[in-house]
Amino acid sequence: MTPFQPGPPLPPERLRAILGNAIMRQVSLGWRIESQIDDQAVMAAGGDVNHAVHLLLSLVTCGIWLPVWVIMGVTGGEKRVVITVDPRGVVLFGGRPAPMIPGPAVQPRRRPVIGPHANTNAQAVAGATMRRELRRRARELAAEDPGLARELRIGRLDLPRQYDDGGLIDVNHVPPPSLTALSGVTPEIAERIVSIRERVGPFSSAEELVVTADLHPDLTAEIREYGIFPP
């Protein structure tokens, strides 16, 4: 009998996508990200409950998520698990293959029936929350260690990279096509921003960019959320 032959290793971008999906599933179960690198993430559950996220999920699901929120609020005990992905795409929880680790909350006897739209919305909220957290961590890293941020290519959509910064854009260094990833920035506006940047030097904030490039004030919030301004 021919022995089992494992498949070839997957490309890094595919492994990162698999890890991201595993993280999103755990976030939707109430786990939070404590740290993340290219091929692994440390997730925690229990302890302090993120009431803001659970309030948002309860609103999105029209109250269906409320029992889960209440149970998580009254149950304590912090748990941690390391999620990794091996070179062939197998997700490992604590070093052992497993389709899913259980959520931190005690399940009620009768689970609420959640419609497909509510489930999709809850997953979307969990994914957006995770991306926002990735942006926050990347900003902190860029502020504390600019050299490491340059090496990781934080905000450089135009360059190949492995670090996931949650969609940040380095306004002072990316070319015009990358600036159009900002909602409301057309190719013409992007060209104007780069032209002014080349003449007067790097920008220091979203507010300065909006004033200097004569952009519509409505763009300020979008640029503040996704833009970074390293020198």
pLDDT of the residue at 88:
78
23 and 122 fall within a common domain: yes
pLDDT at residue 208, as a whole number: 92
113 and 169 together in one domain: no
In this prediction, residue 105 carries a pLDDT of 47
Instruction: Look over the chain and give the mean of its residue pLDDT values, rounded to a whole number.
Output: 80
The model scores a pTM over 0.85: no
Of 133, 165, 183, which one is at a domain's C-terminal end? 133
Q: Is residue 122 located within the same domain as residue 182?
A: no
16-23 contacts, C-beta under 8 A, 24 or more apart? 16/162, 16/164, 18/85, 18/89, 18/91, 19/83, 19/84, 19/85, 19/91, 20/164, 22/83, 22/85, 22/91, 23/83, 23/130
Does one domain contain both 110 and 151? no
Indicate whether 126 and 186 sit together in one domain: no
**Does residue 71 lie in a domain region?**
yes
Residue 3 within any structural domain of the chain: no
| Residues 18 and 59 reside in one and the same domain | yes
Q: Name the domain boundary from 91, 106, 133.
A: 133
- Residue 5: inside a domain, yes or no? no
Last-in-domain residue among 75, 101, 133: 133
pLDDT value at residue 7: 59
Per-residue pLDDT reduced to its tens digit, 115-166: 555 567 777 888 888 889 999 999 999 999 999 999 999 999 999 989 999 9
Q: Is the same domain home to 129 and 23?
A: yes
- Residue 199 is part of which domain span? 143-228
Looking at the fold, whether 120 and 188 belong to one and the same domain comes out as no
The answer to which of 101-105, 134-138, 165-169 has the lowest mean pLDDT is 101-105
Number of domains, the chain? 2
pLDDT at 75: 54
- Residue 138 placed within a domain: no
For residues 19 and 104, membership in a common domain is answered with yes
Nearest Cα residue to 123 out of 27, 50, 197, 210? 27
Q: pLDDT tens for residues 48-78?
A: 556 676 677 777 777 786 776 666 665 555 6
Residue 74 falls inside a structural domain: yes
Q: How confident is the model at residue 173 (pLDDT cuts 50, 70, 90)?
A: very high
